[in-house]
Structure 1
Amino acid sequence: MAGELQRGCVNKMQGSTLISHLPDNVIEEILIRMPIQDAVRTSILSRKWWNAWLRLPQLVFDEGFYRNSMRRSNNDLMITINDLMLKHFKLRSCLVGPPPRFNGFNRLLSLELKDVSITSEVFSSLISICPQLEELKLVTCTDLCDLEITAPKLTCLYLEGAFSSIWIQNSPDLTRVTIFLYDVMRTEQFFDWVTLFAGLPVVEVLELDCGILQLIPVGGIPRRLPTDLSHLKILKFYEMNLQDEDEVSTILCFIRSSPNMERIEVQMDIDGIPDDDALREVELELASGVGFDLEFIKVILATSPVLEKMDIDLTLLSDMGRYRFLKEVLGDMDDC
């Protein structure tokens, strides 16, 4: 009996020694394949395993973790996440309400909220205690009506959803911005192009959809913005309808307000040309092959001496439409 106990103790010690001497990359591979709550429990195995799970490159707090935390106490989810040296955080399909002890993510570099319920007050508070934030993505978040963003180190912003207002302040390094507006609820302090783009002094890449038309200034679409987007190099428009005069005027307004723009990407035909000759690349997706799109191409070819590349997507045209379009364009080029 004593011999069996001794052999059992030896086997246990040998197993413990083996676990303690596993290479770090092996430990990481083991932990990655475990539910997060089980990975946390491995801290008791040995000194080498102590909080080894915190060094994992990716942590997934899924429904299983949430159900487990709810059995113990409220707020365990946020408290546990708050204890990490967290740099990248993606949160989806949940309600966000940080506990009183939450002090923010001091090292957070990127934050993505998708289908998340969060109030404007909670969001503003969360952003204010993430001083290192560089990338922010918000997609269809409910209860987030008045969006106020103050992030000194923000460089990339992606917004998709419905808002009452969007205020971007103290973000001097914000160079890439995407805004897809589903709906805008007008209020007494309604924001428009002037207030929105005043917060983007150094934007270089700007992506917009037809929702931007909801923010037309009270006086109508201006010929150009009050302040030029002097750093803008790439402008992209999505879901625009050339048959709408306001949409055409909107595109032209932004083109005229971007003196250093190098590339335009659109999914339709547009009327008019930029005021300068700095255009180097143009990408078009043609819907008709006649009218504005054909005239636009002719004018661009004739008035852009530094144009290097023009991509024309004809997939939306019928076979006959492609034939007529190519015949028209090639005929004009032969005349030149």
Structure 2
Amino acid sequence: MMSTICAPTEAQVDISNRKSRFMELIQGTRDDSNLSTKDDDIISSMPNIVITNIMNRLPIQDAIRTSILARNWRLKWTTLTQLVFDKDFVQYLGERQEKQDNVGDDNWYDEKNISGLFPHLMGPITKFVLTIPYGKVLDVKDFYDWVMFLSRKGIMEFTLENNNKETVELPTSIFSCRNLTHLKLSNCHFPAAPPSFRGFQNLLSLDVSQVTFASGFCDVITMSPLLEILKICDDEEPVPKVNLVDILKLKNLKVVSLPLYAIDSMEITNSLIVHGGPFLPNLEELFLSLAYFEGGVDVEEVISGKLLCDSFSRIKSLTLRYFDFDCSVMSPFVYEIIWGLPNLQTLTIYGSSDYEDRSLELCTSMGQLQLLNVVLEYFEGSKYELFFIKKLLACTPLLKKITIRPARYRHFDGHEEKFMVAKELLMFERASTIAKVDLDMS
């Protein structure tokens, strides 16, 4: 029985030809002399939503430059939904200034040029990133106009990174950005909310650094019921004070980063004891700074590690900054936290060395941990650090790797000292048969 071979239809031939032309184009084997014809312009024939998606991934200056490609590309950039004037954009402006021999020209970062883009944008704006370089005082009127424009365009992600010394005052139109899902601010002042404001009902992440609040930081938190990520940077003051009760109300929180001294020392212990635990059922990552600032509170005045563990027992990843292994107050507190988190899998510690407390008593009895990976930054090789590592290795049967990186300012005296530290680490007993110790002492 003979099979019948049907001739390909016209549609099948057209699809085959288009596929062949596309493969030739991406492989570089095709003659591009006729690329300008409508049939061969693969990119231009893509749906507008695809072109916009591609252009959103380009640096904004490159996206705007596409207007010179062809007549039908003249207005493609006006469909952009993301406006990113970040540090890379600032660097581009600086390099362009140098090429034009305009060094010292104060107009190299001209917000009027940014303002000129807004009237041409046709669709919604979902993301806005603005970096203000050092030495540049932003024109307040222009900035207020931008925020007002964005509030009308349904802005969802708003980032302001102010590297200048002058604090930027946010306009009250920020409260009109009802669709906000991500808000990141640095070195600015957050205004008081109007009486009609009912909160950022869609906000998922809030990241603040050097931000002051006219009506209190907790007002913003409590009016963001869906918040999943809360970050308070402690590298620079001022740091907004936080009421623990307000944080505990955020049942969707998955990531929390804050300095311990930002929490009201009178509220935290009472809150945990009175309300009971566990709290924050979805919390998986905790970044905790133990730094001391002038006027700050001591760890022992704030909370016991046991109370913290009983409340946040579901944490899988813990990062501790400014942990002084030699401190008789801080060390027991940290030990209590680490050995009190039954589900902890990842531990990262940034050590510090403010002082050496000779009266420190080393803990002896500790239970098993579920840790898989450990990173110790700013290692100095003190006996308290080595004791901590020894205990970790003995209590972590599932451990895969522990990475130890010395502080940059710590220079071990020759190969002999490095050898002695490495030798001591190798002699520690390990509960895990697969645990690797990565000691970077270069």
Give your verdict on TM over 0.5: yes
**Equivalent position of 1:45 in the other structure:** none
Distance 1:152 1:108 in 2: 13
Distance 1:76 1:289 in 2: 55
Q: 1:184 deviation in Å?
A: 6.8
Q: Of the candidates 334, 338, 341, which is equivalent to residue 258 of structure 1?
A: 341
After TM superposition, the structure 1 = structure 2 runs for residues 181-196 of structure 1, keeping only pairs within 5 Å, are: 190-192=266-268, 195=271
**Equivalent position of 2:116 in the other structure:** 38
**Equivalent position of 1:135 in the other structure:** 205
After TM superposition, the structure 1 = structure 2 runs for residues 95-174 of structure 1, keeping only pairs within 5 Å, are: 95-98=169-172, 104-118=176-190, 121-122=192-193, 128-143=198-213, 146-148=216-218, 149-150=221-222, 151-160=224-233, 161-166=238-243, 167-174=246-253
Deviations 1:94-133 (A, max 9, x none): 113415xx763232110012111225x439987x432111
After TM superposition, the structure 1 = structure 2 runs for residues 238-253 of structure 1, keeping only pairs within 5 Å, are: 238-253=321-336
1:300 aligns with 2:369: no
Structure-2 change in CA distance of 1:181 and 1:260 (3 Å): closer
Distance 2:118 2:378 in 1: 55
Q: 1:28 deviation in Å?
A: 5.2
Deviations 1:307-328 (A, max 9, x none): 1111122353513432211122
Contact 1:235/1:264 (8 A) holds in 2: yes
**Equivalent position of 1:5 in the other structure:** none
> Mean alpha-carbon deviation: is it higher for 102-111 or for 237-246?
102-111
Equivalent residue of 2:380, what SS? coil
Q: Which amino acid aligns with 1:87?
A: M
Structure-2 change in CA distance of 1:215 and 1:118 (3 Å): farther
Deviations 1:147-180 (A, max 9, x none): 3112221111111242343332532111111113
Structure-2 change in CA distance of 1:145 and 1:185 (3 Å): farther
1:321 aligns with 2:417: yes
**Equivalent position of 1:22 in the other structure:** 73
**Equivalent position of 2:22 in the other structure:** none
In structure 2, list runs of 5 or more residues that go unmatched. 1-68, 86-111, 353-359, 434-442
**Equivalent position of 1:48 in the other structure:** none
Contact 1:202/1:229 (8 A) holds in 2: no
Q: 1:191 deviation in Å?
A: 2.7
Distance 1:215 1:174 in 2: 26
Contact 2:300/2:329 (8 A) holds in 1: no
Contact 1:28/1:56 (8 A) holds in 2: no
Equivalent residue of 1:131, what SS? coil
What is the count of residue pairs matched by the alignment? 298
Distance 1:114 1:274 in 2: 41
Q: Which amino acid aligns with 2:346?
A: R
Structure-2 change in CA distance of 1:268 and 1:194 (3 Å): farther
Identical-pair percentage: 18
Distance 2:231 2:149 in 1: 27
Q: 1:260 deviation in Å?
A: 0.7
Distance 1:134 1:253 in 2: 31
Distance 2:176 2:241 in 1: 26
Distance 2:336 2:318 in 1: 12
Equivalent residue of 1:227, what SS? helix
1:90 aligns with 2:173: no
Distance 2:303 2:314 in 1: 25
1:206 aligns with 2:286: yes
Q: 1:138 deviation in Å?
A: 0.9
Q: 1:268 deviation in Å?
A: 3.2
Equivalent residue of 1:284, what SS? strand
Q: 1:237 deviation in Å?
A: 0.7
Distance 2:138 2:172 in 1: 17
Deviations 1:166-215 (A, max 9, x none): 332532111111113676787xxx33356489764432111111148837
Q: 1:81 deviation in Å?
A: 2.9
Equivalent residue of 2:184, what SS? strand
Contact 1:162/1:182 (8 A) holds in 2: no
Q: Which amino acid aligns with 2:297?
A: Q
Equivalent residue of 1:248, what SS? helix
Distance 2:310 2:255 in 1: 18
Distance 1:215 1:278 in 2: 29
Distance 1:152 1:310 in 2: 37
Distance 2:378 2:129 in 1: 44
Contact 1:235/1:265 (8 A) holds in 2: yes
Equivalent residue of 1:108, what SS? coil
Distance 2:323 2:297 in 1: 13
Distance 1:222 1:39 in 2: 53
1:330 aligns with 2:426: yes
Contact 1:224/1:253 (8 A) holds in 2: no
Q: Of the candidates 188, 213, 235, which is equivalent to residue 318 of structure 2?
A: 235
Contact 1:194/1:225 (8 A) holds in 2: no
Q: 1:257 deviation in Å?
A: 3.2
Distance 2:187 2:202 in 1: 24
